[in-house]
């Protein structure tokens, strides 16, 4: 087996793991806060319906959190096993950021989760509320460190060379690197949208399957309202994030726009089938001068194409399509959320087909998030750390056979886990809070 | 004053791994004991570890995390050499972790399936950890004898976790389940005695480095305190389980405490065998350490967070002190 195959297997395995892992934190980061909100509502009102709501959603949270924890442990091993070159080259920067995540977030969330889930009758009310808050804060801090590291890999800053070693010159610059504020906001909003659609979707499922349930109507409304507010904010922040990428990672933007040649007045490619071999678009539908206008606010401005960055360019087709999936899902989610808010106005119960639509959109956030991560991670290629380390130079360690065997084992395990997750979630939602 | 940063981080890593082994050890042990209990007892067993398993597992992430970030070169060598047992352990931990959540919510044969996966995952993870330990202390030498040795360590660690799990149950339960756990603990103790004995005898033969460190008179005489203390702790487990079996109610925490002492002593012996290597016979911890700037930045975080972390771990254990009750989510 040659090196190219090993690289491919190492990437496939890591990609599978990270894509599977990201599903769960994406949900729990915001769901932690939503559950906290339910807890506060119960504390304020003493209403049994809010208590039932809180209890149901802590179960969903616990389940999702456990999925995130176990896949996250796997990730902590794979950093070293699949990418030894990564730790050798940038370990002095990546290491401490990961360590801070474990120290400041993991223990906080894992320890207080026990109190939050099982301690309601064992500790005073305020302490239980405090524990719920700690869990939510923990998940958010976790996101902070991981996105700081990921953003640093995209737009490195604050590092210096000490002999042959790359070290941090200024930790604040490392953490608050140029793309970090945008990526962090974009990701937190993605989490908020994902969680609000899960809340709305499962509540709709409950209304469809267990008849009249006042708490399900409350949570349906909560989810839709939250989504309706967050969706337009996300579109705005996403645009800012894109402009930031144009400044720091122009090759990624060229791939997103399927712009092969540097030109003035570049067209906005709405749809095409980019051909990475021949470096051209087939079946393109374009708006003349559109890309220059959108990205530079000037119809005749020059935009750099793929040719300006060759040979260090990302694969265009997957980035191009993933970006359109993300934007398309975002637009659909906005539409569904606004229609939903209108359909539930003044406590109205939406028609059955609308409830089915909300149920269908339960995991819409996951699709958009995965597509977004594909854009940003594939768009960074061939670099692992932009301008510093190439993905191909970081691979090593296990043989192709070991990678192949373990990849198979992971695929089977993850498939079982995901099916079980869906079965239990629909079961929980179907039962309603009455049971 | 200059700090010996690699040494500090090696100590922290050792502490994290010891805490992991003891803490996750008891919940893995409880998982392995599941098939020996009836349905009602299984509920109690799960309830006794429910609030803790998540945080317990986090110590593994911290231990491996310190290896990764403080000794990156060693991390690559160690986990590269242990790749397949690591994968087996991870899959075991995944199955067990999610089975814990799923079995609470499942009914009928689904619950049976998750119970089985809970047991299987606990067993797989424990055995794989023992295997890793066995491969690690022999410096990853290949050969039939080395593999047999590693399997032996794997089986011994399972016994050790069963002992931790059953003594945990003695502490956290009462009545018939506690009676059963007393029996399990005695079997576990015999298993551990055989395992620790065999491993202690075999290690000097498979590693000349270890042999040189232990058989160096007169230091050997002082070192004999370790096995003696281990014997004393083992005797405490045997004696206190006997008293509890005769119906005494006090000291139900003693078997667990004595088991923890056995683990701490075995760990100390192991640490002594290895020091100053982080990869046996190949790399010392100073050779493997990352840049001082990275270590300093992390030490700052550790100094601030570690006390807090211990404080709220103690807090969580205090909240859930006393005997476990069935019906976790009620």
Q: For residue A73, which of A101, A92, A94, A97 has the smallest C-alpha distance?
A: A101
Q: Do B94 and A417 touch (CB under 8 A)?
A: yes
Rounded percentage of chain B residues whose pLDDT exceeds 90: 11
Task: Sort out which chain B residues have CB atoms less than 8 A from A67's CB and list them.
Answer: 98
Angle at A390 between CA A384 and CA A394, to 5 degrees: 85
Question: How many other β-carbons are positioned within 10 Å of the β-carbon of residue B148?
Answer: 13
**Maximum average pLDDT range among A233-242, A256-265, A277-286, B217-226:** A233-242
Q: Is the dihedral of CA B133, B137, B139, B142 positive or negative?
A: negative
Q: Do B294 and A95 touch (CB under 8 A)?
A: yes
Residues B282 and A84 sit within 8 Å (Cβ to Cβ)? no
Task: Sort out which chain B residues have CB atoms less than 8 A from A164's CB and list them.
Answer: none
User: pLDDT by residue (tens digit) across B300-325?
Assistant: 888 888 888 888 888 888 888 877 77
Q: Do B297 and A171 touch (CB under 8 A)?
A: yes
pLDDT band at A370 (very low <50, low <70, confident <90, very high): very high
Q: Is the dihedral of CA A416, A418, A422, A425 positive or negative?
A: positive
Strands (E), chain B: 277-279, 283-284
**Structure letter (DSSP) for residue A166:** E
Per-residue pLDDT, A434:
43
Question: Coil, helix or strand for B238?
Answer: helix
Closest residue in chain B to residue A89, using alpha carbons only: B72
Query: Would you say the ipTM is above 0.90?
Result: no
Q: Which helix (H) or strand (E) covers residue A268, if one does?
A: strand A268-275
User: pLDDT by residue (tens digit) across A54-106?
Assistant: 888 888 898 898 888 888 888 878 877 788 788 878 888 888 888 888 888 88
Q: Do A114 and B101 touch (CB under 8 A)?
A: no
| pLDDT at position A31 over 90 | yes
pLDDT band at A435 (very low <50, low <70, confident <90, very high): very low
Angle at A182 between CA A180 and CA A186, to 5 degrees: 115
Backbone phi, psi, residue A269, to 5°: -85, 110
Per-residue pLDDT, A2:
63
Q: Do B319 and A162 touch (CB under 8 A)?
A: no
Q: Do B84 and A406 touch (CB under 8 A)?
A: yes
Distance CA A105, CA A256 (A): 34
Distance CA A102, CA B294 (A): 16
Task: Sort out which chain B residues have CB atoms less than 8 A from A172's CB and list them.
Answer: none
Q: How large is the average pLDDT for residues B44-62?
A: 83
Per-residue pLDDT, B330:
53
Closest residue in chain A to residue B47, using alpha carbons only: A118
Retrieve residue A165's tokens: 């070693």
Residues A365 and A187 sit within 8 Å (Cβ to Cβ)? no
Residue the block writes with tokens 């039939």: B144
Task: Sort out which chain B residues have CB atoms less than 8 A from A70's CB and list them.
Answer: 93-94, 97-98
Task: Sort out which chain B residues have CB atoms less than 8 A from A113's CB and list them.
Answer: 54-55
pLDDT band at A269 (very low <50, low <70, confident <90, very high): confident
Nearest chain B CA: its distance from A421 CA (Å): 8
Could you say which of A73, A112, A398 has the minimum Cβ distance to residue B93?
Answer: A73
Nearest chain B CA: its distance from A203 CA (Å): 18
| pLDDT at position B246 over 50 | yes
Residues A379 and A255 sit within 8 Å (Cβ to Cβ)? yes
- State the angle between helix axes of A84-101 and A48-82 in degrees (0 to 180), rounded to the nearest 10: 150
Nearest chain A CA: its distance from B19 CA (Å): 13
Distances (CA, A) of B267 to A309, A321, B137, B237, B271: 54, 53, 12, 18, 6
Q: Do A72 and B62 touch (CB under 8 A)?
A: no
Distance CA A200, CA A217 (A): 9
Distance CA B283, CA A210 (A): 63
Q: How large is the average pLDDT for residues B291-306?
A: 83
Q: Cβ-count burial of B143 within 10 angstroms (0-12 exposed, 13-18 middle, 19+ buried)?
A: exposed
Q: How large is the average pLDDT for residues B234-256?
A: 83
Could you say which of B80, B97, B293 has the minimum Cβ distance to residue A84?
Answer: B80
Q: Is the dihedral of CA B83, A63, A107, B43 positive or negative?
A: negative
Q: Do A165 and B100 touch (CB under 8 A)?
A: no
Q: Do B329 and A118 touch (CB under 8 A)?
A: yes
Question: Coil, helix or strand for A275?
Answer: strand
Could you say which of B57, B69, B84 has the minimum Cβ distance to residue A402?
Answer: B84
Looking only at the bridges linking them, the beta strands covering A302-303 and A383-385 are unpaired
Task: Sort out which chain B residues have CB atoms less than 8 A from A152's CB and list them.
Answer: none
Task: Sort out which chain A residues have CB atoms less than 8 A from B83's CB and list them.
Answer: 81, 397-398, 402, 406
Q: For residue B63, which of B18, B109, B105, B5 has the smallest C-alpha distance?
A: B18
Could you say which of B64, B79, B101 has the minimum Cβ distance to residue A62?
Answer: B101
Per-residue pLDDT, B1:
46
User: pLDDT by residue (tens digit) across B124-158?
Assistant: 999 999 998 888 887 787 888 788 888 888 888 99
User: pLDDT by residue (tens digit) across A177-236?
Assistant: 899 999 999 999 999 999 999 999 988 888 888 777 778 888 898 999 999 999 999 988
Closest residue in chain A to residue B297, using alpha carbons only: A96
Distance CA A405, CA B91 (A): 13
pLDDT band at A390 (very low <50, low <70, confident <90, very high): confident
Residue A161: half-sphere exposure toward Cβ, Cα within 13 Å: 3
Nearest chain A CA: its distance from B305 CA (Å): 6
Task: Sort out which chain B residues have CB atoms less than 8 A from A54's CB and list them.
Answer: none
Q: Do B64 and A72 touch (CB under 8 A)?
A: no
Distance CA A306, CA A304 (A): 7
Q: Which residues are bridge partners to A371 per DSSP?
A: none
Distance CA B133, CA B153 (A): 7
Q: Cβ-count burial of A423 within 10 angstroms (0-12 exposed, 13-18 middle, 19+ buried)?
A: middle
Per-residue pLDDT, A199:
93
Closest residue in chain B to residue A93, using alpha carbons only: B294
Mean pLDDT, chain B, rounded, equals 84
Per-residue pLDDT, B327:
64
Retrieve residue A345's tokens: 């106005």
| pLDDT at position A333 over 90 | yes
Question: How many other β-carbons are positioned within 10 Å of the β-carbon of residue A386?
Answer: 18
User: pLDDT by residue (tens digit) across A396-405?
Assistant: 777 778 888 8
Per-residue pLDDT, B2:
64
Mean pLDDT, chain A, rounded, equals 85
Q: For residue A12, which of A403, A427, A303, A363 has the smallest C-alpha distance?
A: A403
Greatest distance between any 2 Cα atoms in chain A: 69
């Amino acid at each position: 087996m040659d090196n190219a195959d090993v690289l491919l297997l190492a990437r496939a395995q890591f990609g599978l793991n990270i894509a599977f892992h990201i599903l769960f934190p994406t949900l729990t980061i915001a769901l932690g806060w939503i559950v906290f909100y339910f807890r506060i509502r119960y504390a304020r009102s003493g209403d049994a319906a809010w208590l039932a709501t809180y209890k149901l959603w802590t179960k969903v949270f616990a389940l999702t959190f456990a999925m995130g924890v176990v896949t996250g442990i796997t990730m902590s091993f794979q950093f070293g096993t699949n990418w030894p070159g990564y730790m050798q080259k940038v370990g002095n920067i990546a290491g401490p950021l990961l360590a801070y995540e474990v120290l400041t977030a993991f223990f906080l969330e894992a320890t207080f989760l026990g109190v939050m889930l099982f301690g309601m009758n064992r500790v005073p009310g305020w302490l239980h509320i405090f524990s719920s808050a700690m869990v939510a804060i923990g998940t958010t801090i976790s996101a902070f460190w991981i996105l700081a590291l990921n953003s640093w890999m995209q737009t490195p800053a604050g590092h210096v060379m000490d002999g042959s070693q790359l070290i941090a010159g200024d930790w604040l610059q490392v953490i608050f690197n140029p793309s970090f504020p945008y990526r962090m906001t974009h990701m937190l909003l993605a989490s908020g949208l994902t969680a609000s659609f899960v809340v709305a979707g499962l509540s709709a499922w409950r209304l469809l399957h267990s008849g009249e349930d006042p708490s399900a109507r409350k949570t349906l409304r909560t989810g839709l309202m939250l989504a309706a507010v967050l969706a337009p904010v996300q579109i705005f922040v996403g645009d800012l994030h894109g402009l930031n990428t144009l400044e720091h990672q122009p090759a990624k933007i060229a791939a997103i726009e399927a712009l092969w040649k540097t030109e003035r007045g570049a067209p906005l490619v709405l749809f095409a089938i980019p051909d990475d071999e021949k470096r051209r678009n087939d079946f393109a539908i374009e708006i003349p001068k559109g890309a220059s206008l959108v990205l530079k606010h000037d119809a005749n401005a020059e935009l750099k194409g793929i040719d300006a960055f060759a040979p260090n360019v990302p694969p265009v087709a997957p980035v191009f399509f993933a970006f359109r999936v993300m934007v398309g899902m975002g637009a659909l989610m906005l539409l569904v959320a606004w229609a939903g808010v209108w359909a539930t106005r003044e406590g109205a119960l939406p028609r059955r087909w609308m409830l089915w639509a909300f149920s269908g959109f339960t995991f819409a956030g996951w699709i958009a998030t995965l597509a977004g991560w594909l854009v940003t991670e594939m768009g960074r290629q061939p670099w692992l750390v932009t301008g510093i380390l190439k993905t191909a130079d970081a691979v090593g360690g296990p043989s192709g056979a070991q990678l192949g065997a373990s990849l198979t084992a992971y695929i089977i395990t993850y498939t079982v886990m995901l099916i079980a997750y869906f079965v239990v979630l629909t079961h929980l939602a179907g039962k309603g809070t009455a049971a | 004053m200059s700090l010996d940063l690699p040494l500090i981080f090696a100590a922290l890593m050792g502490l994290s791994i010891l805490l992991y082994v003891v803490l996750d050890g008891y919940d893995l042990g409880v998982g392995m004991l599941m098939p020996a209990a009836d349905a009602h007892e299984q509920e109690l067993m799960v309830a006794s570890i429910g609030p803790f398993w998540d945080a317990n597992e986090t110590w593994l992430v911290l231990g491996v995390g310190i290896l990764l970030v403080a000794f990156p070169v060693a991390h690559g060598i160690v986990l590269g050499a242990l790749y397949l047992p690591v994968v087996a352990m991870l899959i075991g931990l995944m199955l067990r972790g999610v089975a814990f959540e799923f079995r609470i919510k499942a009914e009928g044969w689904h619950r049976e399936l998750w119970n089985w996966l809970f047991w299987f995952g606990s067993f797989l993870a424990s055995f794989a950890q023992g295997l890793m330990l066995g491969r690690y202390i022999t410096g990853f030498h290949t050969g039939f004898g080395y593999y047999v040795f590693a399997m032996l360590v794997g089986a011994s660690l399972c016994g050790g976790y069963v002992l931790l799990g059953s003594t945990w149950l003695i502490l956290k339960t009462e009545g018939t389940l506690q009676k059963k756990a007393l029996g399990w603990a005695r079997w576990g103790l015999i298993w551990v005695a055989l395992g620790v004995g065999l491993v202690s005898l075999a290690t000097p033969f498979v590693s000349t480095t270890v042999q040189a460190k232990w058989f160096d008179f007169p230091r050997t005489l002082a070192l004999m305190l370790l096995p003696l203390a281990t014997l004393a702790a083992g005797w405490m487990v045997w004696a206190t389980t006997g008293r509890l079996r005769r119906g005494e109610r006090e000291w139900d925490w003693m078997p667990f405490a004595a088991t923890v002492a056995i683990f701490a002593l075995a760990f100390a012996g192991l640490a002594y065998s290895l020091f100053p290597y982080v990869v046996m016979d190949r790399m010392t911890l100073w050779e493997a350490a990352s840049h001082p700037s990275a270590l300093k930045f992390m030490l700052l975080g550790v100094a601030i967070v570690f006390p807090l972390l211990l404080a709220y771990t103690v807090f969580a254990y205090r909240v859930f002190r006393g005997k476990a009750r069935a019906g976790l989510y009620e």
